[in-house]
Structure 1
Amino acid sequence: MPVEWQPVRQSRTHELVLRSIEERVFAGELKAGDRLPPERELAPVLGVSRSALREALRVLETIGVLVAQPGRGPDSGARIVRNPDDALGRLLRLHFALGSYSLHDVLEARVVLERSSFEAAARNAPADDLDAAEQLVLRMGEPEVGVPEFNDLDTRFHVLIARSSGNELTSTLTSAVRESVRPLILRALEEAEDWPAAAAALNAHHLELLRLVREGRGGEAADLVEEHIRGLHGTLVDEPSTEHRTGQG
């Protein structure tokens, strides 16, 4: 059934356009994969300028529910998507940098989320996901892997385990929370006095976590991942200069 568009009021125009699109998503009239009409058609139907429409579409792109593909043809235009991970991570990272949340808040959120995801992964994780996680751990163990790549692989490992737990929201939140402190964790790793020893110790935890998940020992995996998170992340919380660097008081 075609979507029925209605004109919107002119005050705070782009917000009203957003509301109009949101209402159609909530009503089930727009779903992931659906395309919006071209700007030249949608703007007059809504009774707004094309600039106001573009502003609303940019907001939707930022929050990860729309992707705009320029050009002409069947694949051009704006399409409704489901891509919350990057959007939520970016939003949380900005709020963390602005001081909305402390390092302690982020630490405790990580502990709760990852205890839950590792425990659930021990029950639900598909073998393919665990095989992929093993490849990440093996790569982290290679001597030529530098700090930035290790940090990226570490993030992917934790997010993959969260995804394998079977709870998509837990996966998204785990990714967002981990991304919010990625720069600080990277800095802490770069400042390690003995990087090879630090990398080996961290990866020993990864290997053991993976073994516990494979063996279905969720409670032990949850305890170990909490120790793992509090070990590195906890040192960031304990640094007196970190609060100042991130604008926390």
Structure 2
Amino acid sequence: MPVEWQPVRQARTHELVLQSIEEQVFAGKLRAGDRLPPERELAPVFGVSRSALREALRVLETIGVLVAQPGRGHDSGARIVRNPDDALGRLLRLHFALGSYSLHDVMEARVALERSSFATAAEHASEEDLDAAADVVHRMSREDIGPEEFNELDTQFHVEVASSSGNALTSTLTAAVRESVRPLILRALEEVDDWPATRTRLNAQHAEMLRLVRTGHGEEAADLAELHIRGFHGTLVDDERTGGEGAE
């Protein structure tokens, strides 16, 4: 039987640098807080140009595992960090905008994540965690609050509850999924016919979800969270399916 040869993938130089740095992380030789050597020292170690090294470092910075601090001295250079929230949210927002995921996909992901976080928060959340969420609800109840600030606090509330569930990955994914549709939610809030009534209704649901979590009624909180998401987010899905202008 003749041998079937397959083309060898040609990796670009910066991808080889990325692979090498990843291997150091996987081996435990690079950890959060560690600082990389200066570019002038690191490029010769890898045997690459400084431009290829910079390209690799920019990729790592974009995905939230590296922060570059320009300048000279002890605090300059690139440092390994753990900052997945903003990076994942930015990535999902771009893919959503490009059509990789539909509004329905995002809604179903939110429902699954937040049902879990509200139910689990009722069992594990500390009073300190829930007080932080309550403060957000209080700030959202101001009569002079506009759609933009409300939208930011709305995201913060849901992330606070997810964080209080004790699962860091659930919190990160909740923030990322919510961030992916944040501009659309804002547009929808700005276009409602009766903003004060909409604000009051949505925040009353927030307050009731929080009360259910505080009193240990996790499944009821999860049910209301699903109703809350499907109620507002669902109208955007309907608009998408019918070709309407409304969007979250």
TM-based fold match above 0.5? yes
- Residues matched between the structures, number: 237
Counterpart of 1:198 in structure 2: which amino acid?
Answer: T
Q: CA deviation at 1:15?
A: 0.3
Question: Secondary structure at 1:79's aligned position in 2?
Answer: strand
- In structure 2, the CA distance between the partners of 1:115 and 1:241, relative to structure 1 (3 Å rule), is closer
Listed as ranges, the gaps of 5+ residues in structure 2 are 1-9
**TM-score of the superposed pair, with normalisation by structure 1:** 0.92
**1:52-83: per-residue Cα shift (whole Å, max 9, x none)?**
00000000000000000011111111000000
Q: Distance in 2 between matches of 1:67 and 1:29?
A: 18
Q: CA deviation at 1:146?
A: 0.5
Aligned counterpart, 2:35: 35
> Any conservation in 1 of the 2:239–2:245 contact (CA below 8 Å)?
no
Question: Secondary structure at 1:239's aligned position in 2?
Answer: helix
Question: Secondary structure at 1:30's aligned position in 2?
Answer: coil
Aligned counterpart, 2:146: 146
Runs of 4+ in 1 over 6 A off after TM superposition: none
Question: Secondary structure at 1:67's aligned position in 2?
Answer: strand
- In structure 2, the CA distance between the partners of 1:160 and 1:242, relative to structure 1 (3 Å rule), is farther
Give yes or no for the alignment of 1:214 onto 2:214.
Answer: yes
Q: Distance in 2 between matches of 1:28 and 1:245?
A: 50
Give yes or no for the alignment of 1:188 onto 2:227.
Answer: no
- In structure 2, the CA distance between the partners of 1:243 and 1:107, relative to structure 1 (3 Å rule), is farther
- In structure 2, the CA distance between the partners of 1:67 and 1:217, relative to structure 1 (3 Å rule), is same
Q: Distance in 2 between matches of 1:159 and 1:66?
A: 23
Aligned counterpart, 1:13: 13
Q: CA RMSD in A?
A: 1.5
Aligned counterpart, 1:6: none
Aligned counterpart, 2:97: 97
Counterpart of 1:116 in structure 2: which amino acid?
Answer: S
Listed as ranges, the gaps of 5+ residues in structure 1 are 1-9
Over the matched positions of the two proteins, sequence identity in percent amounts to: 76
Counterpart of 2:173 in structure 1: which amino acid?
Answer: L
Question: Secondary structure at 2:74's aligned position in 1?
Answer: coil
**1:14-52: per-residue Cα shift (whole Å, max 9, x none)?**
000000000000010000000100000000011000000
- In structure 2, the CA distance between the partners of 1:137 and 1:212, relative to structure 1 (3 Å rule), is same
**1:156-192: per-residue Cα shift (whole Å, max 9, x none)?**
0001100110000100100000000111111111111
Aligned counterpart, 2:75: 75
Give yes or no for the alignment of 1:133 onto 2:146.
Answer: no
Q: CA deviation at 1:127?
A: 1.0
> Any conservation in 2 of the 1:110–1:229 contact (CA below 8 Å)?
yes
Q: Distance in 2 between matches of 1:242 and 1:31?
A: 49
Q: Distance in 2 between matches of 1:12 and 1:189?
A: 45
- In structure 2, the CA distance between the partners of 1:244 and 1:102, relative to structure 1 (3 Å rule), is farther
Q: Distance in 2 between matches of 1:238 and 1:12?
A: 44
Counterpart of 2:238 in structure 1: which amino acid?
Answer: D
Aligned counterpart, 2:169: 169
Aligned counterpart, 1:107: 107
> Any conservation in 1 of the 2:89–2:180 contact (CA below 8 Å)?
yes
- In structure 2, the CA distance between the partners of 1:244 and 1:80, relative to structure 1 (3 Å rule), is farther
- In structure 2, the CA distance between the partners of 1:152 and 1:78, relative to structure 1 (3 Å rule), is same
Q: CA deviation at 1:240?
A: 4.0
Counterpart of 1:69 in structure 2: which amino acid?
Answer: Q
Question: Secondary structure at 1:28's aligned position in 2?
Answer: coil
Question: Secondary structure at 1:68's aligned position in 2?
Answer: strand
**1:80-110: per-residue Cα shift (whole Å, max 9, x none)?**
0000000000000000000000100000000
> Any conservation in 2 of the 1:95–1:101 contact (CA below 8 Å)?
yes
Aligned counterpart, 1:159: 159
